[in-house]
Amino acid sequence: MASVTTLVWDYRREYENERKDLLDAVDTVFRSGRLIFGESMRGFEREFASYHGVRHCVGVDNGTNAIKLGLQALGVRPGDEVITVSNTAAPTVVAIDAVGARSVFVDVRADTYLMDTDQVASAITERTRCLLPVHLYGQCVDLAPLERLADDHDLVILEDCAQAHGARRHGRPAGATGAAAAFSFYPTKVLGAYGDGGATVTSDDEVARRLRRLRYYGMEERYYVVETPGHNCRLDEVQAEILRRKLTRLDGYIAGRRAVAARYAEGLAGTGLVLPELADGNDHVYYLYVVRHPRRDDIIEALRAHDISLNISYPWPVHTMSGFAHLGYAKGSLPVTESLAGEIFSLPMYPSLPRGVQDTVIAALREVLANL
């Protein structure tokens, strides 16, 4: 068996369990006679929209473009401001930058690591156009305060759901509240493709029309007739069919992740690690299992002796990256985000994680923590 080091994430056990269906998905597309904009993509869009309780899903080639096109379809333009967080994967901010808008950061909560919505009102200016909450690690931001602010200031909400497929707050799915929501289907995601993929969802008919034009050069119905300048970022038909098959198993994937999380919670109780906190009203899907300790770096170094290598999501807040120095955020400007970056780390988390590997990780962590 491969070493624990290689099993921070590994799709191969899941693939063996689903191999027949996945290969049939590929064969279905190849035999269909339609490799672009076929029934696999159309069917997945219908079914993914239905799962999330929205009217429209527009499949695209990756999660970054799902955000970028979402911003454009919602009317965000160069010079506008988008309020978001720095404790996120860089693509959130890359997409904002790509449309010429400026990211404005608020800090996150120290308990859930999610956007501190109490700070958003003071960040709004006359240039603010969009609020972009990130449903991080598998649970939802409380959108109720943002909805009130959006109504009061004529703003739009674009949800970043890249880590929250199937997550719910008070029974409402992630992605069903804002004017639009962006999803990634990168292979590690709760719903992951066997390659890249993404989607933007909305219940607004006009926003959906704009999204469909934007992903297809700016064309709506006829090839060569550009309505408005757009892009070429369609969801691949093979990935769409694979996602369509995997969508029927999404609730099972989530149940598997929750079982892994429950074993971590039991096995690591009383060790001094700060374990994930579930916000009231949230149904967590545990895209990542993020723990916290002030001696994080010492723990990670000690685990190497056990042949265990763990990820950090994320060690460098976006506002500290040289590529975003133009945003003008000095060290110390987001104290909670910066403190977390020095203490958080992620344990192996995926639904097919072998129980023996998880037990090894728990035992090694308990030994290391006892000897700090």
Instruction: Choose which CATH entry (3.40.50.150, 3.90.1150.10, 3.30.450.20, 1.20.140.10) describes domain 250-370.
Output: 3.90.1150.10
Instruction: Name the class of domain 12-106+113-247.
Output: alpha beta
Q: At what angle do helices 39-52 and 237-247 cross, to 10 degrees?
A: 40
Q: How confident is the prediction for the chain on average, in pLDDT?
A: 96
Per-residue pLDDT band for 6 (boundaries 50, 70, 90) equals very low
Q: What is the pLDDT of residue 220?
A: 74
Please indicate whether residue 3 or residue 202 has the higher confidence score (pLDDT). Answer: 202
In this predicted structure, the answer to whether residue 300 has a pLDDT above a threshold of 70 is yes
Domain 12-106+113-247 and domain 250-370 have a common topology: no
Q: What is the pLDDT of residue 4?
A: 58
Q: Domain coordinates of the chain in residue numbers?
A: 12-106+113-247, 250-370
pTM of structure: 0.96
In this predicted structure, the answer to whether residue 228 has a pLDDT above a threshold of 90 is no
